Amino acid sequence: MKYADIIVDISHEDLDRTYQYLIPDDLKAKALIGIQVLIPFGKGNRQIKGYIIGLSDIPKWREEAIKPITSILEDTLMIEGQLITLAGWIKDTFGSTMNEALKTVLPVKRAVRQKENKVIRAALSKEELSAVLEREKKKNNKGRVRLLQELLIHPSLQFEQVKNDLNISAATVKDLEKMGIIQSEASVLYRNPVKQQPAALKAVTLSPSQQEIAEDFLKDYKEGIRKTYLLYGVTGSGKTEVYINIIEEIIKTGKQVIVLIPEISLTYQTVMRFYQKFGERVSIMNSRLSQGERYDQYIRAKNGDIDIMIGPRSALFTPFKDLGLIIMDEEHEGSYKSESPPKYHARETAIERARLCGASVVLGSATPSLESYKKALEGEYTLYRLSEREGIRQMPTIWTVDLREELKARNKSIFSRKLKSMIEERLQKKEQVMLFLNRRGYAGFVSCRSCGLVLKCPHCDISLTSHNNGKLVCHYCGYEESFPDKCPSCGSKYIASFGTGTQKVEEMAKKEFPGTRILRMDMDTTKKKGGHEEILSAFAKGQADILVGTQMIVKGHDFPRVTLVGVLAADLSLYAADFRASEKTFQLLTQAAGRAGRAELPGEVVIQTYQTDHHSIVYAGKGDYEGFYKQEMLYRKLMSYPPASHILAVLAASKEEEKALKASELLTEALKQWVDKEELIKYHVIGPAPARLSKANDIFRFCFYIKEDDYQRLVAAKDFLDGFYRFSEEFQGIVVQFDFDPMNS
């Protein structure tokens, strides 16, 4: 490449603004994305530092006017350089612009002012100060008098404090400063988002199996081996204790650690466990922090004030100088995949970041993603198992209840007879119950209340979605049929789109169990800041007998008095228009079951379902992850779904429906011609069809899918399409987005 695009200041300059420079021949081998260079800048050709963020052979300017790079700074791939290199990788691997990728990995500084705290000192001797004090007393300048008196006692004062305690204004300080009586200096106060003081640490001695894993990992680490590990440990098996143990050893070597936890599980309880152990050396990032607070955490990490950063996806880009380890808890969680461009997966990105800076990665889960478990079985990741719960606690007993039998027995309640009697028993014993409704993705699927049949697309093995116009639609291929008036399988009239919400469950529970204290946790009740924590801690304190909720309730918290978990309709999440539906259902059921019996009291779980024989329900009922994995992989292989193969979803969106459709047709057509020309016979193109979210904010969305076994060949297809639409006039006003191995569509 002949030219380099360079950004000159990543924290101040708008990242969009790049400058093109010529790469001298002798620097070509080293001029890579992320490298820091010295360049002549501005009229005086002042030498300044910049980063290469792009390379090309096409001059954007008159060739003779493009200045050459002066030199490459040797000691580079410093932290910013690493993150910029990572941005380049994200752009190539997941499909986005470099700018979108840079905005993901670099912090936003604009308009963020740090909270300043001034320190005030006397600029004069005590005698001189006393003289000034007498003078000000005579003039009756009360504010000055209060401040001077205080300074005679304490030689240095915090402005924040005198402002509040002595009611001294900033103007008073300024005046005295101008008169040369006092000096003030700014000390930047970096806000620490962990406000509470930690309670005393509960000492935990690792069990032999925990110990064995920690030792094996650390042995590798000390030998300089860096790789990816998958810690598959059942709920409550003590994965977090293992993390804490290895983190402690790694920070002793002067390295830093990033701990990724899904936002939904990032509760007070979880954070405190780390805070109790590592105190001020740990910080957190989450969406509830203000932009200023987030920026502070970024600076604290860069300055070396902290060793451990805990947070969701975005914490992956913490600018630690000497990162030793990335831990990704609940690695199966869908929230690790970004839903806006770049649609990167934090797992793959963590592994790449670790590779760039010589760190290891530990993935942890009670229900590993098929992706990770497959790689672990194939030896790409090292597999560790923790198959027992720690302490005296046992795995819960799980009962599966067939809801079709309830209908036969004329029980129209949403509580089966078994669940009802078990709840009553708990209420009598003053133990607690959690009722769980896996609501996500259920809306609109149509099922028969008599036989449990769910209407599916004949071409896609995906449930059809009911639309307001009375049609049932497949969002993978566009297939349509009208809403039937009776069940095509058993002829029953009880066929309807499903719609039981948490609110209704709460009402029904109040009716069935009069006088019971019930808390509800869902999107509605947790809207306000801290609402989530408030409900959970009220429940933990025993202020309610029953907690009703969506998947939000299955994460993170330990409730020692919960001895029964009821899953009201386990099938709900099975019919999302999503090839991962069975996997998500299995994960949710396993996580929900994991909430029961976390302390001395043994736990039981009731799973209510119309499909007692569905593999995700059968294996969740048995607590058999491997069994589920084997069966689900057969399905993925048969259908060429990830991780057996790969899928690239291409979205074309426009304000005009026709334009969006036309654009997606042009793209598929161009792709087919390209495939023919290149004789790339393996690509399999499905669509275009309206996207699952076919219209959002008045923007119409069409989607098509490309299936292909080899990921790099999908990347090649993406590169082709990307080039095609950027240089084509028909794509004015059209947004095109790429999503590899989609998680949520």
Residue 274 Cβ vs ligand ADP, minimum distance, rounded to whole Å: 11
CA-nearest of 722, 470, 428, 466 to 563 is: 428
Interface with Zn ion includes 492 (CB under 5 A)? yes
Q: Which of 176/259 has CB closer to ligand ADP? A: 259
CA-nearest of 84, 27, 25 to 50 is: 84
CA-nearest of 445, 451, 443, 442 to 486 is: 451
- How large is the C-alpha radius of gyration of the chain? 30
Backbone angles phi, psi at 110, to 5 degrees: -40, 135
Residues 554 and 436: beta-carbon distance below 8 Å: yes
Which of 18, 450, 573, 611 is the binder for Zn ion (CB under 5 A)?
A: 450
Residue holding tokens 């021949």? 25
The pairing of beta strand 518-521 with beta strand 546-549? parallel
Beta strands across the sheet bearing 465-466: 465-466, 471-473, 480-482
Q: Which of 231/398 has CB closer to ligand ADP? A: 231
For the chain, how many helices (H) and strands (E)?
21, 30
- Please state, in angstroms and as integers, the Cα–Cα distance from residue 386 to each residue in 140, 234, 247, 349, 482, following that order: 74, 6, 18, 26, 49
Residue 202 Cβ vs ligand ADP, minimum distance, rounded to whole Å: 7
Paired with 327 in beta bridges are 259, 362
Q: Which of 123/451 has CB closer to Zn ion? A: 451
Interface with Zn ion includes 479 (CB under 5 A)? yes
Residue 643 Cβ vs ligand ADP, minimum distance, rounded to whole Å: 24
Residue holding tokens 């780390």? 274
448: partner contacted, choices ligand ADP, Zn ion, none (Cβ within 5-8 A by kind): Zn ion
478: partner contacted, choices ligand ADP, Zn ion, none (Cβ within 5-8 A by kind): none
| Cα separation, 409 vs 403, whole angstroms | 10
Residue holding tokens 């670790």? 354
Residue 240 Cβ vs ligand ADP, minimum distance, rounded to whole Å: 3
460: partner contacted, choices Zn ion, ligand ADP, none (Cβ within 5-8 A by kind): Zn ion
Residue 379 Cβ vs ligand ADP, minimum distance, rounded to whole Å: 24
Interface with Zn ion includes 472 (CB under 5 A)? no
| Cα separation, 105 vs 94, whole angstroms | 14
Which of 60, 142, 408, 459 is the binder for Zn ion (CB under 5 A)?
A: 459
Residues 468 and 580: beta-carbon distance below 8 Å: no
Residue 242 Cβ vs ligand ADP, minimum distance, rounded to whole Å: 7
| Cα separation, 373 vs 487, whole angstroms | 38
545 three-class SS? coil
Q: Which of 124/693 has CB closer to Zn ion? A: 693
Q: 703 among the known binding-site residues?
A: no
The angle that helices 268-278 and 239-252 make with each other, rounded to 10 degrees, is 30
451: partner contacted, choices Zn ion, ligand ADP, none (Cβ within 5-8 A by kind): Zn ion
238: partner contacted, choices ligand ADP, Zn ion, none (Cβ within 5-8 A by kind): ligand ADP
476: partner contacted, choices ligand ADP, Zn ion, none (Cβ within 5-8 A by kind): Zn ion
Interface with Zn ion includes 38 (CB under 5 A)? no
Interface with Zn ion includes 131 (CB under 5 A)? no
Residue 536 Cβ vs ligand ADP, minimum distance, rounded to whole Å: 15
Which of 460, 562, 675, 743 is the binder for Zn ion (CB under 5 A)?
A: 460
Paired with 386 in beta bridges are 233
Q: Which of 454/570 has CB closer to Zn ion? A: 454
Q: 474 among the known binding-site residues?
A: yes
| Binding segment (CB under 5 A) for Zn ion, from list 24-32, 491-499, 507-515, 690-698 | 491-499
Residues 162 and 120: beta-carbon distance below 8 Å: yes
| Cα separation, 426 vs 545, whole angstroms | 9
Residues 662 and 711: beta-carbon distance below 8 Å: no
Q: Which of residues 429-448 bind Zn ion (CB under 5 A)?
A: 448
Interface with Zn ion includes 576 (CB under 5 A)? no
The conformational region for residue 77 under phi > 0 = left, psi -120 to 50 = alpha, else beta, is left
Instruction: Please give the biggest Cα pair distance in the chain.
Output: 101
Residue type present at position 92 = D
Residues 372 and 336: beta-carbon distance below 8 Å: no
Residues 606 and 401: beta-carbon distance below 8 Å: yes
Which of 474, 535, 569, 675 is the binder for Zn ion (CB under 5 A)?
A: 474
Q: Which of 329/741 has CB closer to ligand ADP? A: 329
| Residues in contact with ligand ADP by the rule CB under 6 A | 204-207, 210, 233, 235-241, 390-391, 558
Which of 78, 123, 206, 451 is the binder for Zn ion (CB under 5 A)?
A: 451
Interface with Zn ion includes 453 (CB under 5 A)? yes
Q: Which of 490/634 has CB closer to Zn ion? A: 490
Residue 211 Cβ vs ligand ADP, minimum distance, rounded to whole Å: 9
453: partner contacted, choices Zn ion, ligand ADP, none (Cβ within 5-8 A by kind): Zn ion
Residues 66 and 86: beta-carbon distance below 8 Å: no
Q: Which of 237/664 has CB closer to ligand ADP? A: 237
Q: 357 among the known binding-site residues?
A: no
Q: 448 among the known binding-site residues?
A: yes
| Cα separation, 460 vs 646, whole angstroms | 16
CA-nearest of 632, 674, 614 to 374 is: 632
The conformational region for residue 686 under phi > 0 = left, psi -120 to 50 = alpha, else beta, is beta
Q: Which of 107/238 has CB closer to ligand ADP? A: 238
Residue holding tokens 């936890």? 261
Residue 283 Cβ vs Zn ion, minimum distance, rounded to whole Å: 47
Neighbours of 164 (CB within 10 A): 10
Q: Which of 44/208 has CB closer to ligand ADP? A: 208
Residues 18 and 39: beta-carbon distance below 8 Å: no
450: partner contacted, choices Zn ion, ligand ADP, none (Cβ within 5-8 A by kind): Zn ion
Q: Which two tokens stand for residue 718?
A: 């993406």
| Binding segment (CB under 5 A) for Zn ion, from list 394-402, 415-423, 437-445, 492-500 | 492-500
Residue 171 contacts by C-beta under 8 Å, 6 or more apart in sequence? none
Q: Which of 376/403 has CB closer to ligand ADP? A: 376
| Closest residue to ligand ADP in the complex (CB) | 238
Number of residues that this document lists for the chain: 745
Interface with Zn ion includes 457 (CB under 5 A)? yes
Q: 457 among the known binding-site residues?
A: yes
Interface with Zn ion includes 168 (CB under 5 A)? no
Which of 108, 170, 409, 490 is the binder for Zn ion (CB under 5 A)?
A: 490
Residue 200 Cβ vs ligand ADP, minimum distance, rounded to whole Å: 14
**Binding residue numbers for Zn(2+):** 448, 451, 457, 460, 474, 477, 487, 490
**Binding residue numbers:** 448, 451, 457, 460, 474, 477, 487, 490
Binding site for Zn ion (CB under 5 A): 448, 450-451, 453, 457, 459-460, 474, 476-477, 479, 487, 489-490, 492
